[in-house]
């Protein structure tokens, strides 16, 4: 699951694909408006507004790089490494606690695992003295150990 804030271009590269159908479901969390462009109309706009084309290409490039990083994240790291990296990426309060922005189920999907597997890993992190978890609040007890999970790869 991915969240977008307005204004945002949803799947810009799909428009120029041989089969330009979006392979996902989209749901708005709040009311808003959407603009839908046909490829020919967009190409005409690009001809008249080169800055729009540059912005569009930058957006496609950013999304491609993000997808590449996500693929590496899911395929090259263990679940233990993925969770450690994710927790370290969240902003911590002065107490060292982070707040998970979504449910454990959504986080499991994001990390490419099941909810039970992720819950077991949180329990293991707790037993190892790495974190304390209460609901969506996770207090990082040993940031150095989480970092070593990422740097001491076997």
Q: For residue 23, how many other CB atoms are within 10 A of its CB?
A: 8
Could you tell me the residue ranges of all domains in the chain? 12-75, 78-151
Asked whether the beta carbons of 79 and 73 are under 8 A apart, the reply is no
Asked whether the beta carbons of 127 and 112 are under 8 A apart, the reply is no
pLDDT tens track of the chain, all 154 residues? 667 777 778 778 788 888 877 777 788 888 888 888 888 999 999 999 999 999 999 988 988 898 888 888 788 889 999 999 999 999 999 988 999 998 999 999 999 999 999 999 999 999 999 999 999 999 999 999 999 999 886 5
Please give the C-alpha separations between residue 55 and each of 14, 49, 50, in angstroms, as whole numbers: 16, 10, 9
Q: In CATH terms, is domain 78-151 a member of 1.10.10.10?
A: yes
Asked whether the beta carbons of 77 and 85 are under 8 A apart, the reply is yes
Q: Running DSSP on this structure, what letter comes out for residue 31?
A: -
CA distance 146 to 140: 9
């Amino acid at each position: 699951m991915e969240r977008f804030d307005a204004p945002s271009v949803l799947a810009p590269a799909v428009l120029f694909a041989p089969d330009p159908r979006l392979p996902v479901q989209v749901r708005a969390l709040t009311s808003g408006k959407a603009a839908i462009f046909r490829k020919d109309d967009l190409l005409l706009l690009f001809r008249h507004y080169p800055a729009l084309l540059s912005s569009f290409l930058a957006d496609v490039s950013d999304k491609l790089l993000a997808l590449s990083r996500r693929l590496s994240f899911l395929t090259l790291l263990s679940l233990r490494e993925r969770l450690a990296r994710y927790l370290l990426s969240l902003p911590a309060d002065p107490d060292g606690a982070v707040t998970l922005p979504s449910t454990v189920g959504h986080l499991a999907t994001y990390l490419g695992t099941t909810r039970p597997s992720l819950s077991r890993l949180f329990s293991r992190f707790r037993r190892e003295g790495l974190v304390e978890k209460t609901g969506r609040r996770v207090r990082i007890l040993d940031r150095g150990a989480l970092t070593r999970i990422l740097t001491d790869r076997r």
